């Protein structure tokens, strides 16, 4: 076993474009993660063609740097052949060191094409409690799990202690924070089909919201930065990679963050090196940073509505007349610097490129060419820069790159499982938060909690469907396992699991009816086949899917299927809340949508004030073979008026 001095985690750098990839190499990153132009959870990054990626992988390997390719989007039923062909080309002609995936269908595709590299489970897969790791190691060919960003160092240590010998962990240490737990945010999708699980999030959490007359960016998080605390993280030997978020960032950010964390890792005991590293991180052009939950004895809220949360280094505010505005800058500027004027969701927002050197406290005219008129007092941010010294480093690295190869297309076709066939009868259940002793005489459902378990009568428990929470944190694993044990002793036999790894909490699953719940985000036949192989008897389909995808899945599925037919579906689930956001009190979006926040267990659930409702499609779905129909009953707080509007979600528009 390595001693603490020998444990040297890899610095894993993001790359959303060629310049950022070269910057990671120039800074001395140990590994780089990047995506292709499709099927990546950062589709707004420029990403890479297969030819360009093959060239850059060869360049990285010449420098003994590993490359991980993200194929971490949710796959729809008709995308398996196309993604399989992409993975086939990656396996045979690009040869990255690992694939980062969230969809279990991609794991199956990697097996089918014979991918020889490692499989890493993305943070979007929501592997959030210790017992999950052993289960994954027994059932999937996974070499590494990317941990949620919400974990404290004590929870990371607990995950490390539970991590099997044939598996390692990766944890984020710097970059943007989402308000919602990864893999548990549907906000963007619910508002118009642009799913965060497919890299197309429009970031509704970054907008202004109004509650009780007060307007603020109540869900917009600061960045995450472990910075000097990495010396504590370095004690967790199972964490082999320190991951920097930022595939939408430029080369300046990548170079400075990689350089800063290399200093902290390699010379963290040297006070001057620590100061130099902190200076590098301060110049990386990110948001103001927080440690979030990293120190459990001193947690920091990642949302402070009194501070700005726009990306980039704040320079000053717009001054002067509307036709000729300027900014007095707090930092020196150089030619080529990129400025963002205002927030991206505000009128007058604009991008401005600096054309000359400007000293600190110098005035720089915001020449927007008459295209935009920024409001007086709007903030100005430095979002990217291309200093000459860095540009030269990139040129020097690129000069050693081999020629781009010619990529031969793949003819791979996915092998699908044998469909299960249509069931003889369907079941309809209502899922509630509370359970009276008279409940459960017919098919009924309830969320697992102390209150509901106490009210499960032994005579009714066998017909009751018990739903597990969508997220289980390390600190909560023992409590949830205890409630499950109590439910089983009372006669509970039917459970809906909202992460496949929750199977790890059942010591003896034989004789139980275990289904994958809607938060498992199952959306294709190969994912469903993997769930079946794990021992699940049925699965709910992803609630994000549109009509054609759901009907296709009904024809292809090797498992009986269920669907959430109506009810209060959460926009997202979070582990945090702003100090001045009140629970069960409605808030309004800039576009007039209304929602509220409720606490369930350790988490905060954000609900819209209109219901998911595809009950009019029930007959069609039953004819297609859907077996289980669920209704999510949530108590509506006083003061929240349920809006009458279509609740079809993506049924008609489809999942983008």
CA distances from 197 to 76, 269, 612 (A): 11, 40, 19
If you ran DSSP here, which 8-state letter would residue 206 be given? Answer: G
The pLDDT of residue 462: 83
Distance from C-alpha of 113 to C-alpha of 601, rounded to nearest angstrom: 42
CB atoms within 10 A of CB 282: 15
Exposed, middle or buried, 476 (CB in 10 Å: 0-12/13-18/19+)? Answer: middle
Axis crossing angle, helix 547-556 with helix 525-534, rounded to the nearest 10: 50
Chunked into runs of 10 residues, the chain (656 residues) has average pLDDT values of: 63 96 98 87 69 97 98 96 96 98 98 98 98 98 98 98 97 96 97 93 94 95 96 96 95 97 96 96 91 94 88 92 91 93 85 94 87 86 91 97 96 97 87 69 84 82 93 98 95 96 92 97 98 97 98 97 98 97 94 94 97 97 96 94 94 94
| pTM of structure | 0.95
What pLDDT digit, counting tens, does each position of 135-147 carry? 999 999 999 999 9
Positive or negative CA dihedral for 604, 606, 607, 609? positive
- 538 sits in which H/E element: strand 538-540
The pLDDT of residue 370: 67
Q: What is the CATH number of domain 10-177+222-250?
A: 3.20.20.70
CA distances from 118 to 11, 111, 166 (A): 17, 11, 11
The pLDDT of residue 307: 84
Distance from C-alpha of 305 to C-alpha of 178, rounded to nearest angstrom: 15
CB atoms within 10 A of CB 482: 13
CB atoms within 10 A of CB 270: 13
Query: What is the token pair recorded at 214?
Result: 């007060």
CB contact at 8 A, 527 and 563: no
What pLDDT digit, counting tens, does each position of 368-417 carry? 876 778 888 999 999 999 889 999 999 999 999 999 999 999 999 999 99
Could you tell me which CATH class the domain 313-384 is placed in? Answer: mainly beta
Phi, psi of 428 (to 5 degrees): -125, 125
Residues 6+ apart with CB under 8 A from 213: none
Positive or negative CA dihedral for 306, 311, 313, 316? negative
Distance from C-alpha of 340 to C-alpha of 468, rounded to nearest angstrom: 44
What pLDDT digit, counting tens, does each position of 22-63 carry? 999 999 999 999 999 877 655 455 679 999 999 999 999 999
SS (HEC) of 564-623: EEEECCCCEEECCCCCCCCCCCCEECCCCCEEEEEEECCEEEEEECCCEECHHHHHHHHH
Query: What is the token pair recorded at 19?
Result: 């310049």
Numbers of helices and strands, H then E, in the chain:
17, 31
Distance from C-alpha of 427 to C-alpha of 630, rounded to nearest angstrom: 8
Exposed, middle or buried, 295 (CB in 10 Å: 0-12/13-18/19+)? Answer: middle
CB contact at 8 A, 32 and 60: yes
CA distance from start to end of the chain: 47
CB atoms within 10 A of CB 61: 14
- Give me the residue label for tokens 């929870």: 155
The pLDDT of residue 41: 53
Would you list the domain boundaries of the chain? 10-177+222-250, 313-384
CA distances from 115 to 31, 108, 371 (A): 19, 10, 50
- Give me the residue label for tokens 């607990």: 158
């Amino acid at each position: 076993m390595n001693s603490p001095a020998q444990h040297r985690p890899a610095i894993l750098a993001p790359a959303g474009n060629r310049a950022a990839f070269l910057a990671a190499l120039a800074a001395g990153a140990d590994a780089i993660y990047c995506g292709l132009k499709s099927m990546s959870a950062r589709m707004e990054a420029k990403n890479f063609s297969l030819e360009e990626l093959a060239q850059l992988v060869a360049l990285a390997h010449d420098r003994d740097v590993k490359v991980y390719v993200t194929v971490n989007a949710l796959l729809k039923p008709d995308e398996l052949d196309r993604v399989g062909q992409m993975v086939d080309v990656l396996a045979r002609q690009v040869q990255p060191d690992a694939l980062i995936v969230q969809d279990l269908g991609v794991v199956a595709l990697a097996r089918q094409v014979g991918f020889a590299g490692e499989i890493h489970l993305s943070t979007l897969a929501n592997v959030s409690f210790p017992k999950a790791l052993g289960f994954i190691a027994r059932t999937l060919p996974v070499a590494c799990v990317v941990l949620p960003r919400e974990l404290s160092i004590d929870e990371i240590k607990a995950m490390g202690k539970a991590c099997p010998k044939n598996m390692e962990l990766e944890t984020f240490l710097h970059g943007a924070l989402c308000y919602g737990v990864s893999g548990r945010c549907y906000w963007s999708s619910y508002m118009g089909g642009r799913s965060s699980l497919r890299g197309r999030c429009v970031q509704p959490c970054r907008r202004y919201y109004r509650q009780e007359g007060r307007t603020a960016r109540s869900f917009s998080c600061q960045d995450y930065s472990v910075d000097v605390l990495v010396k504590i993280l370095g004690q967790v030997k199972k964490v082999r990679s320190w991951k920097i978020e930022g595939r939408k960032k430029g080369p300046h950010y990548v170079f400075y963050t990689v350089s800063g964390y290399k200093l902290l890792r390699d010379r963290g005991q040297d006070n001057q090196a620590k100061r130099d590293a902190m200076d590098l991180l301060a110049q990386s052009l990110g948001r103001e940073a927080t440690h979030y939950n990293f120190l459990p004895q001193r947690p920091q809220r990642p949302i402070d509505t009194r501070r700005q949360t726009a990306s980039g280094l704040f320079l000053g505010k717009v001054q002067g007349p509307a036709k000729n505005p300027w900014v007095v800058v707090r930092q020196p500027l150089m030619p080529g610097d990129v400025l963002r004027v205002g927030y991206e969701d505000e009128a007058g927002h604009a991008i401005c490129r600096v054309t000359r050197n400007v000293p600190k406290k110098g005035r720089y005219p915001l020449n927007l060419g008459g295209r935009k008129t920024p409001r007086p007092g709007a903030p100005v941010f430095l979002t990217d820069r291309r200093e000459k010294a860095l540009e030269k480093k990139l040129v020097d690295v690129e000069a050693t790159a081999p020629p781009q190869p010619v990529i031969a297309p793949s003819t791979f076709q996915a092998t699908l499982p044998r469909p299960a066939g249509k069931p003889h009868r369907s079941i309809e259940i209502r899922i509630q938060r509370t359970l009276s002793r008279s409940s459960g005489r017919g098919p009924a459902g309830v969320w697992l909690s102390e209150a509901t378990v106490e009210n499960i009568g032994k005579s009714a428990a066998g017909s009751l469907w018990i739903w597990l929470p969508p997220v289980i944190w390390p600190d909560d694993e023992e409590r949830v396992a205890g409630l499950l044990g109590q439910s089983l002793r009372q006669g509970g036999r039917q459970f809906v699991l909202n992460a496949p790894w929750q199977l790890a909490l059942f010591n003896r699953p034989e004789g139980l009816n275990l289904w994958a719940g809607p938060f498992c985000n199952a959306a294709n036949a190969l994912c469903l086949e993997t769930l079946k192989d794990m021992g699940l008897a049925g699965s709910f389909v992803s609630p994000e899917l549109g009509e054609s995808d759901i009907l296709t899945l009904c024809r292809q599925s090797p498992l009986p299927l269920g669907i959430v037919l109506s009810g209060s579906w959460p926009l997202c689930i979070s582990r945090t809340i702003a100090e001045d956001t009140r629970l069960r009190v409605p808030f309004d979006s800039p576009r007039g949508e209304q929602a509220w926040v409720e606490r369930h267990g350790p988490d905060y659930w954000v609900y819209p004030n209109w219901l998911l409702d595809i009950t009019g499609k029930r007959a069609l779905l039953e004819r297609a073979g859907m077996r289980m129909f669920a209704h999510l009953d949530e108590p509506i707080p006083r003061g929240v008026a349920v809006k009458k509007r279509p609740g079809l979600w993506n049924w008609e528009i489809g999942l983008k």
